[in-house]
Structure 1
Amino acid sequence: MALKTILTMMLPLAFACSGGEASQNNAVAAEAPASPLQQLADRAKPGTLGVAILDLQTGQMQGLNADKPMPMQSVFKLPLGIFVFHKAAEGAFSLDEKITLTEDDISPLYSPITDRFAEKKVYTIEELVEVTVAQSDNAAADLLMKRVGGPEALTRFFQERGFEDFRVDRYEYEMQPQSVGAPAIQPRMTREQYSALRQTVPLDRQQAAMTLYLADPRDRVSPATATRMLAALDAGKLLSPELTKKMMAILEGTTSGPARLKAGIPEGAKLYHKTGTGATVDNVNGATNDIGIIALPNGRKLAVAAFLAGSTLPNEQREAVLAEVARIATKGAGAR
């Protein structure tokens, strides 16, 4: 059975619950015109779009599937970076501490520090945070995760602060092959070796793994919780003023996802964001995400989280959906 057929049956179950005022209102008045977010979600079907838009001035939130935990992919690297900064502030280590990479630290997954391994092996912890958050480096993320106590410690830090549906359960080297049915990544495995290994995985095994990934409760956060985390960062409730400024500068320098939220903000606005992208199997994409703070020219700020899971749209169209989320958000804030 093709994966798209399987998803047509399973996705309504995996994503049956939705949150957010917009979706609730539409359920009550089905005959009313669909909201812009609902119209956008209809374009993304059979994928599921989860959106939360939080006005940081008024505290008002709108959304669609806003309370439904969605697969994060690399979105988790922002909370990881915040946690590393927090641990440094506690005195667990210094951000200036230098780490020398070995061949056991590099990754066959996307990783700029792996690409530069022959030329550069020494990084400060702060540099590893920068490359993890701004460039979505998987090897650096796994290194930092080990340093702060693993996924359980990261999850506990945020859940204890009220972000209850945030959870990270796996390292990148575990989650990525599992999501596509590939064998486990072995130490010192090269990118070429991993790519060749993935190509040997039968399509039906990849399809089954992707279906399981889309229904898996692990490594998720709801759009509403993601925006509340962004709001807490912006308000200085998670880090000191100095470290908050550092993190916001890193987020402003994010290099990934220029066609997502960033493509939908008006001229003169600034975006501080983190993206996440999952693998695609048989034209079904695991996740295309972007969360961030939009600082508008009129002085207003919005925390926006957009997650798209299980979409069969090509990458360009998936990213266009997220860009449209930003347009809807900023128009509602009077920026257009």
Structure 2
Amino acid sequence: MAGRRIVTFWAGFSVLERALTLAGVAPVVLMGAGVHEVATSVALLAPPSYQSLMPVPEAPPRMLAPRVLKETIGALRNQFDGLAGIAVRSVDEGWAIESVDADRRMPQQSVSKLWVAMTVLDAVDRGRLGLDTPVRIRREDLTLFHQPIASLVKADGYTATVRELLQRAMTQSDNTANDSLLRTVGGPTAVRSFITRKGLGNIRFGPGERLLQAGTAGLTWRQDMAMGRAFEAARARLPADVRQAAYQRYVADPVDGAAPAAIAAALARLKRGDVLSSTSTDYLIRTMESSKTGKYRLRGAVPPGWTFGHKTGTGQDLRGRTAGYNDVGLLTAPDGRTYALAVMIGDTRRPIQERQLLMQAVVAAIVANHGGR
């Protein structure tokens, strides 16, 4: 049929198939894991606890969540084999739908780049930084895994602006760009302070890319691990029981963990202008809408006429398990109404295609129920 695309469903997942069909949009053919499927932020350090120091601005009067959508979201989660949480929130009507485990902290991975970006833009709003502030990156600042900016860092370093680093971190999920912003804004303490000051809820922030990744693998970070595939080689030399124990500790209590419900609520507040200035809010959402990662995740079911800004996150693999496979964002209908959503898969052995189809089915269900359909 003209204008339709084809997707392959796995046997028995009728709720997912029904959600995709009812939406009137067919998702893309699943060819692989998408653009950004590398590991990001993880750790084994003792996590701090956060409490809000200020009242959270009031949300719009809460209406009842659509019954069919609530039932569909619940069924999608219940039929997925693995630890996962789904949260959907109407920015305009105030209702929220949260699956089982939506209040449980799960590995964020690169989703945590959102909080770095918000902290940086809050500093811009306060006049402490500018988007054109220069940031020098040296070879000793390089991180690991996905870091395209590393090719620009020569012996004498590379100077980027805050604007360039934000673009790279949020649209390419560049780890070195993100850690450079983190260093510039005051380190993990500054981000944790922002999360607390803004009352964002059940969201943790770890100690930075290198320590997080090394801790999850069971390694002690050395800067030479940033070059080539040295980190992967060091990880491969570890005894299997050391890797397994480190991985299990991380999944059980991720230091970068966040609840899907808290992330969806934070995104709804961002959209309403409760977190940043209007200028910074518009800038961040436009940047999220230009993201090039996660082509086959939530974005895979966004129909023509709708807009979507998001941030993905993907963790390390061990023996077929993945510690964190996520996508969170803001989905806006042609009539301007917006939904904040978070789909976080904390630990699973299911194939990548099944994870992507779960995410696409959530978007498809929202589209199908928009406007009371």
TM range (shorter): 0.7 to 0.9
**Alignment partner of 2:92 out of 49, 53, 57:** 57
3-state secondary structure, aligned to 1:248: helix
Counterpart of 1:135 in structure 2 is: 172
Counterpart of 1:196 in structure 2 is: 233
Scaled by the length of structure 1, what TM-score is found?
Answer: 0.84
Alpha-carbon separation, structure 2, partners of 1:259 and 1:122: 33
3-state secondary structure, aligned to 1:218: coil
Counterpart of 1:92 in structure 2 is: 128
Counterpart of 1:105 in structure 2 is: 141
Fraction of identical pairs, as percent: 29
1:217 shift after superposition: 4.4
Is 1:313 aligned to 2:350, yes or no?
yes
Counterpart of 2:26 in structure 1 is: none
Q: In structure 2, what residue type is equivalent to 1:280? A: D
Q: 1:69 to 1:248 in 2, by over 3 A?
A: same
Greater per-residue helix proportion:
1
1:335 shift after superposition: 8.3
Alpha-carbon separation, structure 1, partners of 2:114 and 2:146: 17
Which contiguous aligned blocks of 4+ residues in structure 1 show a shift greater than 3 angstroms?
none
Scaled by the length of structure 2, what TM-score is found?
Answer: 0.76
Is 1:280 aligned to 2:299, yes or no?
no
Q: Quote the RMSD (CA, aligned, Å).
A: 2.0
Alpha-carbon separation, structure 2, partners of 1:145 and 1:80: 6
Q: In structure 1, what residue type is equivalent to 2:83? A: T
1:294 shift after superposition: 0.3
Counterpart of 2:266 in structure 1 is: 229
Q: In structure 2, what residue type is equivalent to 1:69? A: R
Q: 1:95 to 1:335 in 2, by over 3 A?
A: farther
Counterpart of 1:263 in structure 2 is: 300
1:79 shift after superposition: 1.6
Higher relative contact order (CA 8 A, sep 6+): 2
Bigger drift between 185-194 and 170-179 goes to 185-194
Residues 120 and 129 in structure 2, CA contact (< 8 A), matched pair in contact too: no
1:73 shift after superposition: 0.7
Q: 1:319 to 1:183 in 2, by over 3 A?
A: farther
Is 1:172 aligned to 2:209, yes or no?
yes
3-state secondary structure, aligned to 1:333: helix
Unaligned runs of 5+ in 1: 1-33
Unaligned runs of 5+ in 2: 1-69
**Alignment partner of 1:210 out of 238, 247, 265:** 247
Corresponding pairs, count: 302
Alpha-carbon separation, structure 2, partners of 1:134 and 1:185: 28
Q: 1:94 to 1:311 in 2, by over 3 A?
A: same
* CA deviation string 1:261-290 (max 9, x = no partner): 101222221101001110110001001101
1:98 shift after superposition: 1.4
Residues 96 and 126 in structure 1, CA contact (< 8 A), matched pair in contact too: yes
Counterpart of 1:5 in structure 2 is: none
3-state secondary structure, aligned to 2:160: strand
1:181 shift after superposition: 2.0
1:155 shift after superposition: 1.5
Counterpart of 1:297 in structure 2 is: 334
1:89 shift after superposition: 2.0
